[in-house]
Amino acid sequence: MAVIYKTTLTPSKLELLAAWLPKQPWYIGTASEPRLAKAGGFRLDDPQGEVGIEFMVVTDTSGERPRSYHVPLSYRGAPLDGADRGLIGTSEHGVLGRRWVYDGTHDPVLVAQLLALLQGRTVPQAQSATDTPDPFVTSHFTGVGFSTVVASTVVDDGQHGTAIVVETEEEAGPRGPSAGGVTIDVVRVLRPDPRDARGDAAREARGHVVAEWRSDNGDRSRGPFAVLRDTVR
């Protein structure tokens, strides 16, 4: 169970993201520096209790129209080997000390728990309260379940979002990864779906996670945060 501390983080998450977001290929650039506000999200628990896992939504109001971005974040007490590309920055936590903050698509612990959520095998938690499930985060899964022990990942950031190609432990044999595997499409630029909060891609996939965020005027929007599909070989 993750414990939510009421303390400071210096620099703040928004300050770290304001420097990091413009460098991402899916960020919709503006003529100004990002003006970010927290707009929602949720958390997942690390079963080992070592890694903080948060799916954060920030809204950027620097352009002609507000844009809401989904950034999975992981928080660690030491650097993650081999994940320099995913490092957003470091920050001083008022209770825990120095924390290494990663784009969680590069963190196997976050990816494993996202796979569990997509299969309905873990309970999403409120973003800012300890031991409080978030009923507004829902998942849907079809087909046969599979292991959430991550053997390897390949992260591909593109203009339309981030694809995480995952091989689980059961799919990685002695001769290397098998022909199986799944891909998690992480939605980065959030858009509400007024039809049924899923969209065509989610309906055709093996699974998806849908959650809420607040728009600039305070209204609640709902749409897909992540979509699970079979990896095409």
pLDDT at site 178: 46
Please report, for the chain, the start and end positions of each structural domain, with discontinuous segments joined by +.
9-230
Dist. CA 34–CA 19, nearest whole Å:
8
pLDDT at site 38: 96
- pLDDT tens string 135-168: 999 999 998 899 999 999 999 999 999 999 999 9
pLDDT interval class at 198 (50, 70, 90): very low
Dist. CA 130–CA 163, nearest whole Å:
30
Q: For residue 117, what is the enclosing H or E element?
A: helix 108-118
Report the C-alpha dihedral over residues 55, 148, 181, 145, rounded to 10 degrees: -110
| Residue 89: strand pairing partners | 101
Q: What are phi and psi of 157, to 5 degrees?
A: -90, 130
Structure tokens at 16: 């770290």
- pLDDT tens string 42-95: 999 999 999 999 999 999 999 889 999 999 999 999 999 999 999 999 999 988
16: phi > 0 → left, psi -120 to 50 → alpha, else beta; which?
alpha
Look at residues 150, 187, 193 and name the one whose alpha carbon lies nearest to residue 169: 150
pLDDT at site 151: 93
pLDDT at site 202: 56
pLDDT at 119 over 90: yes
What amino acid occupies position 74?
S
Dist. CA 154–CA 180, nearest whole Å:
14
pLDDT at site 34: 95
More confident residue, 72 or 193: 72
The mean per-residue pLDDT over the stretch 214-220 comes to 82
Q: Which of 88-92, 118-122, 125-129, 169-173 has the lowest mean pLDDT?
A: 169-173
pLDDT at 187 over 50: yes
Other residues' Cβ atoms within 10 Å of the Cβ of residue 35: 15
SS3 of residue 102 by DSSP: strand
Dist. CA 215–CA 15, nearest whole Å:
20
